[in-house]
Chains A and B, each alone.
Chain A
């Protein structure tokens, strides 16, 4: 029970931190304008290629990836305790610091989900993408899956980035770039060599994006469910890895002396 309570307190801390970054106006005009215009340009390129299929490919990719990009902010956010000088206090506290950090960073998961849904709405409205009611209803679930698995990866890498906190933003940008390049966002996964195709099976976005495409293409329910389950498993695995990594790195920090008091 206390784990949930610590998580909630962390979430509150994350929410207040988020408010320091964004309000409705700056989120819409600042963040969404940046993410939306980036996605818009890619979809426009697809449209210029002349095929509706290519345009829709890029539209779905970029709207899903917009959410993953938002959720990936959890990576630098996982290092913020170092900058606040609270890392040692968390390590020394009787309760595990993991729920507190997950709580604090999970605000970026919600940020990612909102980003993706808003991007879908923006692009589908602009380019006239038709969405059935079932698609409209199921889409938020798939977006949530992709954002959650990306959040798990971001937390794992964020825990590692705590070893060199100044690298946090670079690691985030590289992570987003790699996901965009190899997980079926810019080009289909099949474009890449076989070994790359194998690696991306355990990466976020790959299966969730495939499920989203199937949803739009009126694919078989079982196939959509299968891809969704893979995305869920991948996300769960990354999330568990992040929990273990945070714990292990705290123990390692105790030994190597990298935990500073303030």
Chain B
């Protein structure tokens, strides 16, 4: 059984004035297996948050179906609610005048954690996210990273089997984000399923088992980060260092070579290939020309994202 399953999921609403129908989600069909960390990548307004809202029962779809561990998110919300946890990014979603401990006790009550287990559950979660020493300080005094870890602890208070992370590391410094990703990986080892929306390609690449690219409410691709990269990796790339400009001209004459461009470092160049088959000829030419520093690589997820979604600048 899939942890999350959507079939032709549709969510539309009327634009201001009610003239046009806008589809925030347009026929999304997606399966997320139990224990999987699934990334949801897309630009602003792509439909990521709409999908998370539907799966977390705070939004009703206008068409199609969605289930969480087999329970319908519209008709069986009471069964879905205890199974899920929602983790936001940013400052909101916490009561700034309560301590970390008080916030977890508050949500423990709302998640029906038995009274006798609450103290130990709260303590172990605070220990786990590294906030035990600060548990009696009001959250207003917490750093961004600490707030994010408290968000995670709150999401786990009901022992959720599925966690929805909405831009969890937004605004965090790199070290705090790295720490947070380690916590996310630990959750996978416990068999929890995570759906993570993010703009951060490095994050998706670092923690996700599979990634769905979404834009205009439609899924464009659902693959592992590596497979997605390979989708456009038919054009390999080769970086090399060389002192002779004649080699550059020779490379440009080869069929299958898209571009040869210089890199910021002095004497360093990059060859982008249309076809992977031509790589052997390029390497032979470089070796024959006395080039010894050669490196081949594929595109990063970042580049895949731009390739598939398209570079639309600041437009949403």
Spell out A's residues near B (CB within 8 Å): 2, 5-6, 8-10, 12-13, 16-17, 19-20, 84-86, 88-95, 97, 100, 253-257, 259, 261-262
Contact = CB atoms under 8 A, between A and B. Distances in A.
B106 A12 contact: yes
Contacts of B13: 256-257
Q: Which of B89, B90, B93, B109 has the most CB of A within 10 A?
A: B109
B82 A94 contact: yes
B166 A261 contact: yes
Overall SS of chain A's interface? helix
B122 interface: no
Interface string B92-130: 111111100010011101111001000000000000000
Contact of B59 (A8, A10, A19, A259): A259
Interface stretch (B48-56, B205-213, B231-239, B260-268): B48-56
Contact of A262 (B90, B95, B105, B109): B90
Contact of B88 (A97, A253, A262): A262
Interface residues of B, number: 37
A93 B110 CA distance: 6
B105 A9 contact: yes
B42 interface: no
B93 A89 contact: yes
Nearest to B140: A20
B60 A255 contact: yes
A2 B11 CA distance: 34
A16 B97 contact: yes
20 contacts: A6-B109, A9-B106, A12-B106, A84-B94, A84-B95, A85-B94, A89-B107, A92-B58, A92-B81, A93-B107, A93-B111, A94-B78, A94-B82, A94-B112, A257-B53, A259-B53, A259-B59, A261-B56, A261-B88, A262-B89
Nearest to A6: B109
Q: Which of B52, B59, B88 has the most CB of A within 10 A?
A: B59
B225 interface: no
Interface string B115-155: 10000000000000000000000000000000000000010
Contacts of B39: none
Nearest to A5: B109
B93 A86 contact: yes
Given A94-B81, A261-B49, A261-B52, A9 B109 contact: yes
Contacts of B109: 2, 5-6, 8-9, 95
Q: Which 10 A-B pairs have the closest CB atoms?
A: A85-B92, A93-B110, A94-B81, A262-B92, A262-B88, A85-B93, A9-B106, A9-B109, A94-B82, A16-B97
A163 B52 CA distance: 22
Given A9-B105, A16-B98, A261-B58, A95 B110 contact: yes
Nearest to A8: B109
B112 A2 contact: yes
A90 B86 CA distance: 11
A85 to B, nearest CB: 3
A89 B86 contact: yes
Nearest to B24: A257
Given A94-B78, A100-B106, A254-B57, 19 more contacts: A2-B112, A5-B115, A6-B110, A9-B106, A9-B110, A13-B97, A16-B95, A16-B97, A19-B97, A84-B94, A88-B56, A88-B86, A89-B154, A92-B56, A95-B112, A257-B13, A261-B86, A262-B92, A262-B93
Contacts of B96: 84
B158 interface: yes
Nearest to B92: A85
Interface in B226-275: none
Contacts of B58: 88, 91-92, 253-254, 259, 261
Contacts of A259: 53, 58-59
B60 A254 contact: yes
B196 interface: no
B106 A13 contact: yes
Contacts of B158: 94
Contacts of B59: 254, 257, 259
A12 B88 contact: no
Contacts of A85: 88, 92-94
B215 to A, nearest CB: 19
Given A92-B57, A261-B52, A12 B102 contact: yes
B147 to A, nearest CB: 12
B84 interface: yes
A97 B106 CA distance: 12
Contacts of B105: 9
Contacts of A6: 109-110
A91 B56 CA distance: 9
Interface string B263-303: 00000000000000000000000000000000000000000
